[in-house]
Homo-oligomer: A and B are copies of this chain.
């Protein structure tokens, strides 16, 4: 499998090693005891949202589907496991034939979630389901953190486009996933070429201070850029004197100048000043792009400023203070016996509460109950039969059935779904201030 076959900047011959060692040793022990064959249900959920957040955003489902499909143990991987004595021969033989043949249901990507929401349910034999813990959590914990931050920024930005520019602030491949999650959460474009290559997200770019400093004068730099890229380009105007730069920029590119970027200083003040200057120079359609450590609060504070687009980096790719979610992957039900099938009765299981780490056992359904006006009022989660009135508000959808992915979708579908899901929440969901989850979770 080559990079281009997967459309990736990196080929992924296998995702099987994105796994904690204990998953394989548990497998070995369970194969030996026979319990590896027990039909099991694992659930991904989180006990809490990041402090002060009103809702979570499910990110990474599409990546989970790719990762599960590529979860195979090839000769290189098996050689490593053997050499390092990670597991015994019987387990290696079992892994050599491995492919996930179970079912995965989950919240679709872009959906919102709350504490206790059963975001993903992985069902199969213990042996096959236990192996996916780390990989699934890595993807969901990372991507959902970015998607949630992106969503808040999108709320703050309103109709103005958001540009993802954070690649340099996070691991080079996390950056690609971050650009993807940001797009789901409401960003429009990314600076990251790998994200454009892999996910078709529109890529954009401006210019760096280095380009201006490279040339003998700012005028030379602007001329070079406009010559090469046309008047529609975005010129960076804060390397030396802002007013002079804006003047030079319009002189060189004409009033058709696409945009100017301001990357430092008091953006609120400077945006007003630059807008006035551009207008006075006749460049009424020249846009203003601002960057410089923006987060959702800084974006909100610029709502009244004449800003046309925001470029966001650090704060986005670090989840705006919450770079990971606290999703866990817990066994919630399993068969009574080692010989059993998907239809065997299951025993709900849960760890005893100690220090707040309680879980609720059993395979769950989840629904979002609406009030009379159609606004969501509760996340309802249950293990028994679904009440009639919630039958058409079910949140879990089939993602993988019998090992086959059944829910591939374009990234835009997740992006649209997120806008709709957020719009269905009470208005206070979009307050940036700290608060409680906007919906209570009810277990029935």
Q: Which residues of A contact B (CB under 8 A)?
A: 2-4, 9-15, 17-26, 28-33, 35, 38, 40, 42, 67, 76-77, 80-81, 84, 86, 88, 126, 130, 133-135, 137-139, 141-143, 165, 167-178, 191-194, 196-197, 203-211, 213-216, 220, 223-225, 227-229, 233, 238-242, 263-266, 292, 314, 317-319, 323-324, 326, 329-331, 334, 336, 349-352, 354-357
Contacts and interface: CB of A to CB of B under 8 A. Distances in A.
**What is the count of identical protomers in the complex?**
2
Nearest to A349: B213
A263 B214 CA distance: 55
A210 B130 contact: yes
Given A29-B227, A171-B171, 5 more contacts: A9-B15, A19-B192, A35-B215, A171-B174, A213-B349
B239 A207 contact: no
A205 B20 contact: yes
Contacts of A3: 11, 13-14, 76
Nearest to A238: B354
A330 B210 contact: yes
B42 A210 contact: yes
Given A11-B11, A35-B215, A265-B354, A134 B167 contact: yes
A324 B168 CA distance: 9
A270 to B, nearest CB: 9
Contact of A352 (B193, B196, B241): B241
Contacts of A170: 138, 141-142, 171, 174, 323-324
Given A168-B137, A172-B138, A331-B209, A29 B203 contact: no
Q: Which of A13, A192, A213, A336 has the most CB of B within 10 A?
A: A213
A156 B164 CA distance: 37
Nearest to A130: B210
B24 A193 contact: yes
